[in-house]
Structures are given as structure tokens and as C-alpha cells.
Amino acid sequence: VRRAKRYPTAASEATSVIMRSNYRRDTGPEERVRALLWRARLRYRKDFAIRVGSTRTRPDVAFPGRRIAVFIDGCFWHACPRHGTDPRHNAWYWGPKLLRNRSRDRAVTRALRGAGWTVLRFWEHVPAEQAAAAILGHHRRRSRADARCR
């Protein structure tokens, strides 16, 4: 038995697919959502840096003018309740890291909301069409609210 390398082994084929998809940036669910928003003529910012106190984050999609921040959370890295528990066989490796990711997600959401941002989080397993439709709805609501302020 080789024990020198303590790299996690994929607990299942599904997990390894999810893991691989997380390594390829810009080809995943967030890119599908962005494509749909673009088609709906919403002009978002990608990799827009937001700093609130000591919290720094870059939402997957941001509408700085309307203060809407969208995160498409990977099921694996952000430990979604449906798919995130899959790598339980490698709990020694993933457990603490995934817990840190989750608490960081919560801290980021709290900080942004405290600063007046609307924070939308979607699991990557949510169909892109559904996420894009929800974002579109919030985008419209925010623009009406803005109009009333003027």
C-alpha cells in the first residue's frame, strides 16, 4: 500500500467530473450564465473587485451600478448539500477546507449585504437558464428602485 502521497482519490466518477469542471475556469456554469445574460442584453462586469472593510471578493457577475453581486458556487468546493458531501471518503483532506470555504462564503455575503449589495448565490447544479432568469428579475427590480430615487 502506497501511503506517501496523501492526495485525495475521487470518491466516485461524479465527484471527479465535478472536480475537473472546477479546474477549468470560464468554461463552467458561470460562463453559461454569463452567456445568457449577455444575450438578454445585460451588461455585467466579470472579475469586478469589491472591497468592504477587510473583505475582498470578485463575484462571477457584478452590476456595480445596481450593486448586485452574483456568485455561482461550485457544488464541490462550496459543499452543496446535494453534491458537496460526496467526497466523504477523503474527509481528512476536504473537510476543513470545505468548511473554511463555506464560512468564507457566509462572511462575504454578510459583508456585501451590510454595504448595500444584493447578493445572489446559485449552486452550479442550478440550470443556467433558471439562474439567469432570477438575476434578470433582480436586475429589473433594482433599476425600478433606482428610478424612484431620482
Residues lying near Zn ion in the complex (CB under 5 A): 75, 80, 82-83, 123, 125
Nearest distance, CB of residue 83 and Zn ion, angstroms = 4
AA letter at 54: S
Q: Which is nearer to Zn ion, 73 or 139 (CB)?
A: 73
Listed residue (123, 109, 116) closest to 78, CA to CA? 123
Nearest distance, CB of residue 76 and Zn ion, angstroms = 8
Listed residue (19, 44, 32, 45) closest to 130, CA to CA? 32
Nearest distance, CB of residue 143 and Zn ion, angstroms = 31
Q: Which is nearer to Zn ion, 63 or 122 (CB)?
A: 122
Nearest distance, CB of residue 135 and Zn ion, angstroms = 18
Q: Which is nearer to Zn ion, 63 or 76 (CB)?
A: 76
Give the distance between the most distant pair of CA atoms in the chain. Answer: 70
Q: Which is nearer to Zn ion, 34 or 83 (CB)?
A: 83
Gap between the Cα atoms of 132 and 127, Å rounded:
9
Q: Taking CB positions, which residue lies at the least distance from Zn ion?
A: 75
Instruction: Decide: 72 and 21 in contact? Cβ < 8 Å.
Output: no
Instruction: Decide: 42 and 128 in contact? Cβ < 8 Å.
Output: no
